[in-house]
């Protein structure tokens, strides 16, 4: 390979940047193309996706060496960019299930639905350990305890299969453990990215604590599951051992990328930078490129600056500031993944499973995941389960908004409210179980004569640092939700409150008015799974994967803290039996 061809393999561009001139794939010899959140073909169907990816692939195969393209996508809770895909609960909900086999099955389905449309590589799972609920990516974590996160890493096996040979099948994709490391453990107020408060901030810690909490899931991802790629975090680390105040960006840390991850832990896959992440490293662009390559980064997600990246790295190598051996190491790692995926033999999309996308069988697994993730936090007087013959009053916008219940990373990066994907809302599920249902979003309809009231509260969609508390968000309930609780719980004999949100919210002052309180998380496309436990078709078995605070200013609070007085402790979750009639 020529030096230019090697550098091309290390370069990843966003599809929008090359779609108007797809010959860039050939002229730059790009190793990879990605779809960011919401970056979709004009025909957002399985065929539209596969046709697009194959068209890009044909341009890669027009290069001298015919090295196939690796296409990456954020399939973080299903093939979530594709309308009609099965959308699973977000990771925090899956942590509540305590069911590693279910997580494996979920990611297996996600792999099948994704690969049938072209992409062979997913930027998932997030194996971050969330230590502060004010983080806008809280729902992307499986929980606050590294032990729980490690348990849920069966998802890597769901993506990749049990053996390396499985990667080449149409049922598996290359997985990415992210975001290495400490992204869920940054200090509130430490972020310097725009108006973010905690996302992409600084993890202030000592190496021993970092190893125990933040690094531990990556040891498992590498040594037990052989994860094929790892994405270093936007965040920085500031070691206490040498005095606080000199943080190093993860993309620039040779200690953590090369010495720890590749040499000590033994990672033999490749590192992919996050979205233009190297551009947050101090210095000019040449310094940023040189620093990150020399630190151990292998492939560079430079969404809109791929040509500039290739020119810059070429100049750095020619000037002797980046050794050819480092480039060779990166390219070997990337080509190894392409060979293991069988792309040289079968570069184009295998569409045989396209008909299973969003199938009843796949949706049934998602519905079971929703049911298993529900956490019953309070149940006075056996308010739950409900009986189908009761007159039921339902209030709250989130009861009948599939966009809100799916959350961020759904069709678009930030997600959106409204009827954005096919599936069932929570209200749909309730109506499947009872014909005696009144729905009033603002609790303005008359309540007399109803046996039970269900108030659905929660958040609206957001993703990443745009969801940080202090960046337009709070853990406190909106006034409309408080008003709905007050109206319904004050007027109806049995009052059940469901929280549809990406993280615990502050309910301390309203909890006494509730007979039952359920954390429903972000359930995805199969809201009927919530009703399955409300009416006793399935038992409540979920347990909190994070500690539930009494107030926003109690954050960060985590199991093991010296002073630990939460509203609900980590692993709390009441159980009910399923109805037998």
Nearest to 224 by CA among 191, 252, 262, 265: 265
Phi and psi at residue 160, in whole multiples of 5°?
-95, -20
d(CA 103, CA 92): 11
Half-sphere exposure of 395 (CA within 13 A, CB side): 26
Integer distance in angstroms from the first to the last C-alpha of the chain? 69
User: What is the Cα Rg of the chain in Å?
Assistant: 24
DSSP result, 531-554: HHHHTTSS------SS-B-SSGGG
Please enumerate in sequence order all residues whose Cβ is within 8 A of that of 442, keeping only pairs 6 or more positions apart, or say none: 395, 480, 483, 484
In this structure, what are the phi and psi dihedrals at residue 52, rounded to the nearest 5 degrees?
-65, -50
Ordered DSSP codes for 124-145: --B------TTSTTGGGSS-S-
| Residue 340, φ and ψ in degrees, nearest 5 | -65, -30
Q: For residue 373, which of 76, 572, 100, 96 has the smallest C-alpha distance?
A: 96
Helix or strand or coil: residue 154?
helix
> What is the dihedral sign for C-alpha 312, 314, 319, 324?
positive
Q: Is 581 exposed, middle or buried (0-12, 13-18, 19+ CB in 10 A)?
A: exposed
SS3 content of the chain, % helix, strand, coil (to 5): 40, 15, 45
Query: d(Cα 349, Cα 337) in Å, to the nearest integer?
Result: 17
Q: Is 566 left (phi over 0), alpha (psi -120 to 50) or beta?
A: beta
46, 96 in Cβ contact below 8 A? Answer: no
Q: How far apart are CA 110 and CA 155, in angstroms?
A: 10
Q: Return phi, psi of residue 490, to 5°.
A: -85, -15
Task: Give the H/E segment covering residue 398.
Answer: none
What is the set of active-site residues? 274, 464
Sign of CA dihedral 413, 502, 172, 152: positive
Range list of H helices, 119-261:
146-151, 154-160, 207-210, 216-223, 254
């Amino acid at each position: 390979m020529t030096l230019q061809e090697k550098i091309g393999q290390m370069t990843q561009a966003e599809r929008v940047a090359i779609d108007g001139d797809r010959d860039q794939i050939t002229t730059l010899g790009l190793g990879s193309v990605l779809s960011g959140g919401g970056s979709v073909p004009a025909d957002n169907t399985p065929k539209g996706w596969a046709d697009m990816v194959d068209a890009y692939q044909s341009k890669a195969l027009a290069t001298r060496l015919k090295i196939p393209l690796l296409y990456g996508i954020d399939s973080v809770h299903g093939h979530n960019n594709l309308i009609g895909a099965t959308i699973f609960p977000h990771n925090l909900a899956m942590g509540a299930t305590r069911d590693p086999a279910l997580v494996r099955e979920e990611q297996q389905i996600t792999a099948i639905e994704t690969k049938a449309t072209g992409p062979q590589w997913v930027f998932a799972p997030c194996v971050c350990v969330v230590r502060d609920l004010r983080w806008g990516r809280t729902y992307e974590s499986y929980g606050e305890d590294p032990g729980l996160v490690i348990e849920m890493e069966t998802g890597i096996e769901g993506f990749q299969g049990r053996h390396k040979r499985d990667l080449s099948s149409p049922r598996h994709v290359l997985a990415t453990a992210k975001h290495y490391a400490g992204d869920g453990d940054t200090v509130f107020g430490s972020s310097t990215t725009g108006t973010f408060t905690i996302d992409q901030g600084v993890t202030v810690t000592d190496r021993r604590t970092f190893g125990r909490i933040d690094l531990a899931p990556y040891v498992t991802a590498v040594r037990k599951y052989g994860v094929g790629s790892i994405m270093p975090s936007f965040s920085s680390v500031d070691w206490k051992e040498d005095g606080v105040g000199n943080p190093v960006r993860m993309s620039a840390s040779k200690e953590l990328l090369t010495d720890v991850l590749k040499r000590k832990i033994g990672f033999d896959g490749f590192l992919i930078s996050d979205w233009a992440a190297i551009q947050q490293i101090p210095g000019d662009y040449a310094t940023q490129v040189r620093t990150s390559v020399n630190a151990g980064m292998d492939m560079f997600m430079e969404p809109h600056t791929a040509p500039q990246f290739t020119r810059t790295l070429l100049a750095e190598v020619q000037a002797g500031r980046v050794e050819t051996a480092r480039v060779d190491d990166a390219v070997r790692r990337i080509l190894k993944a392409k060979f293991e995926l069988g792309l040289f033999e079968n570069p184009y999309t295998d569409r045989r499973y396209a008909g299973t996308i969003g199938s009843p069988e796949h949706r049934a697994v998602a519905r079971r995941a929703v049911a298993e993730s529900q956490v019953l936090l309070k149940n006075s007087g056996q308010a739950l389960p409900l009986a189908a013959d009761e007159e039921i009053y339902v209030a709250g916008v989130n009861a009948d908004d599939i966009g809100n219940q799916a959350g961020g990373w759904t069709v678009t990066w930030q997600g959106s409210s409204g009827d954005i994907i096919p599936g069932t809302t929570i209200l749909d599920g309730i109506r499947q179980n009872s014909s005696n249902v009144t729905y009033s979003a603002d609790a303005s309809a008359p309540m007399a004569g109803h046996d039970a009231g269900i108030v659905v509260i929660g958040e609206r969609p957001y993703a990443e640092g745009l969801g940080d508390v202090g960046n337009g968000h709070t853990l406190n309930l909106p006034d409309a939700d408080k008003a709905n609780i007050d109206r319904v719980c004050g007027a109806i004999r049995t009052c059940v409150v469901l929280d549809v949100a990406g993280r615990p919210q502050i309910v301390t002052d309203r909890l006494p008015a509730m007979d039952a309180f359920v954390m429903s998380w972000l359930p995805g496309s199969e809201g009927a799974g919530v009703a399955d436990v409300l009416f006793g078709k399935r038992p409540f078995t979920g347990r909190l994967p994070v500690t539930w605070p009494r107030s926003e200013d109690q954050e960060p609070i985590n199991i093991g803290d010296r002073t630990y007085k939460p509203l609900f402790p980590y692993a709390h979750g009441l159980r009910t039996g399923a109805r037998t009639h």
